[in-house]
Structure 1
Amino acid sequence: MSTTSPTVGVLGLGIIGAIWAERYHAAGKLTAAWNRTPRPEFPQWTDTPEDVALAADCLQVVVADPAAVQSVLDALLPALNASKTVIQSSTIDPASSERFRRQVAATGARYLEAPFTGSKPAAEAGKTVFYLGGDEALCAELDPLLALVSETRMRIGDPRQACALKLSMNLNIAAQMQALSEAHAIARGAGIPDDVFFHALSKNASRSGLSDLKEPLLRAGDYPPMFSVKHMHKDMRLASGMEVAAGFPLLEAVTARLAEAEREGLGDEDFAALRKLF
């Protein structure tokens, strides 16, 4: 792989992957893009993951879950060699990360775990934050490329640690969203106008980036997906499967609440739609 100006192919053109691919394309770095549901109109579209591996130095995977990552890797592995780097940006669990790293390393290719934080608005503004797990030199080498789609790159440690941190951050925001939903429901139930509630929140220690981001959704009662219920539910299931998190009461409660939201048909709405359960 070129050490001065690597090219990139994006596998997974969902809400975030498509935004990243467009930004890479605008910078002249995108040489391939693929999605399970065909999008032939997309810049640099290719028909198969193998085509992406042939066309690009770096292969950035951003799909739904470990099973989807495995399906992509199954197609990629025969085309990998020492000139390729897999950048794994899906939210997965540490055990899956280690399995994928071993599979990629066996081909001679390099592997960087690069989960991220920042939903659709952050991606559109180039303010994604990556949690990098991998060799320090590899992180430094790929920093200029990842800077095209992000504001911050944090080297966390090894790939398993990067995944663990990502799941811990998602637990934190899922729990905050549940608390914010309950607080908002109490205030509205008492006849307190939203203007008063959110002004009070703005002066309270519990105000957060999440509460600022979700305020317009709560006011409107409309929840277009920035980060969907189904994906947050998946992440909490992955966190629940970690030995270190066994029996965590808040994790169990939030996971159950997200499961209820899915059963109520809210899976494709933003996870702020937890508010609809009240």
Structure 2
Amino acid sequence: MSHTELEKAPAAVLGLGIIGSRAYGRLRDAGWSVKAWNRTPKGLPGEESSVLAAIEGVRWISIYLKDSPAVRATVEAILPGLKPGMVVLNHSTLDVETTRWIAARCAEVGADFLDVPFTGSKVASEGGQLVYYTSGNPELLEEAEPYLRVTAKDLIPCGEVGAATIVKLATNLISACTVQALSEALAVATANGIAPENFISAVSKNACASVLSGMKLPTMASGDYDTHFSLGNMEKDSRYVRALAAESGLETPAIDAVSARMAALCADGLADLDYSALAKAYQ
């Protein structure tokens, strides 16, 4: 295929959750030839009942699934249909071992693989404002850029396959610990008579302010836990990053404590809420 042909080569989106469904919609709206599949049918236009039917005849195969077991099962299911010339792009946040396993399985049948997890949630995916961390063959990533740019505002090269996964896990460590700190700080301030709006204003002018605090503090104060990125998914990612740290012989007391806190709240039935529901324990 020429570069021009590759820009609009047929694609498939596997996984139609919060992010995948919106990525699929943006691709369709952009005039892409794209099919989709979900483990639980969503009834969307162009959705296939079979994952093999979804990938038939496509160039790009984007995976937006919840966790490593789901991704491994889906990759095993599509292997009979993978052929040279097809490119599997994983956008799910996985453990590094699974990321490298996908690359090896694709190589066995002559297909290519790119490690492309993202940062951004529901609003970002609706507006094509995701940021992809990318790793893999640089030439192939260059070919994939027009496809990825339909759903993303930026692409951040990270290195060889697995590097993007590591970066994604490390950044989620920061987000989880930050939201726990915001939850504790909001609880301490309001329990001692500070109005939530005054505390939010104070944080906004403090060196600790961030895009994340600006997004999460107002909704935490109002008790709005509409899901942009679920507590269950963040808890899962915390386990992956803790395992990565343990393999490197590193102690990670902050994420260890937050991971345990998230696991307890998930067990209490909060897993499907936004991960800012870390604050719900104080309300």
Q: Smaller-chain TM-score range? A: over 0.9
Instruction: Give 1:222 shift.
Output: 2.0
- 2:16 aligned partner: 13
1:1-278 equivalence runs, <5 A: 2-40=5-43, 42-242=44-244, 243-244=247-248, 246-278=250-282
Mapped contact 2:182–2:217 kept (Cα < 8 A) = no
RMSD: 1.2
Instruction: Give 1:46 shift.
Output: 0.6
Q: 1:214 to 1:80 in 2, by over 3 A?
A: same
Q: Distance in 2 between matches of 1:148 and 1:212?
A: 26
Q: 1:245 to 1:139 in 2, by over 3 A?
A: farther
Q: Distance in 2 between matches of 1:137 and 1:203?
A: 43
Mapped contact 2:11–2:61 kept (Cα < 8 A) = yes
Mapped contact 2:93–2:237 kept (Cα < 8 A) = yes
Question: 3-state DSSP class of the match of 2:154?
Answer: strand
Q: 1:19 to 1:245 in 2, by over 3 A?
A: farther
Q: Aligned partner of 1:175: which letter?
A: C
Q: Distance in 1 between matches of 2:201 and 2:37?
A: 45
Mapped contact 2:7–2:147 kept (Cα < 8 A) = no
Give TM-score, length-normalised by structure 1.
0.97
Structure 2, gaps ≥5 residues long: none
Q: Distance in 2 between matches of 1:245 and 1:129?
A: 30
Q: Distance in 1 between matches of 2:197 and 2:281?
A: 22
Q: 1:266 to 1:30 in 2, by over 3 A?
A: farther
Mapped contact 2:83–2:110 kept (Cα < 8 A) = yes
Identity of aligned residues (%): 36
Mapped contact 2:200–2:218 kept (Cα < 8 A) = no
Q: Aligned partner of 2:25: which letter?
A: E
Moved over 4 A (4+): none
Instruction: Give 1:245 shift.
Output: 6.2
Instruction: Give 1:246 shift.
Output: 4.3
Mapped contact 1:9–1:60 kept (Cα < 8 A) = yes
Mapped contact 2:24–2:34 kept (Cα < 8 A) = no
Give TM-score, length-normalised by structure 2.
0.95
Structure 1, gaps ≥5 residues long: none
Q: Distance in 1 between matches of 2:164 and 2:176?
A: 18
Instruction: Give 1:6 shift.
Output: 1.7
Instruction: Give 1:219 shift.
Output: 2.3
Q: Distance in 1 between matches of 2:121 and 2:101?
A: 27
Instruction: Give 1:31 shift.
Output: 2.2
Q: Distance in 2 between matches of 1:237 and 1:195?
A: 34
Q: Aligned partner of 1:181: which letter?
A: S
Question: 3-state DSSP class of the match of 2:132?
Answer: strand
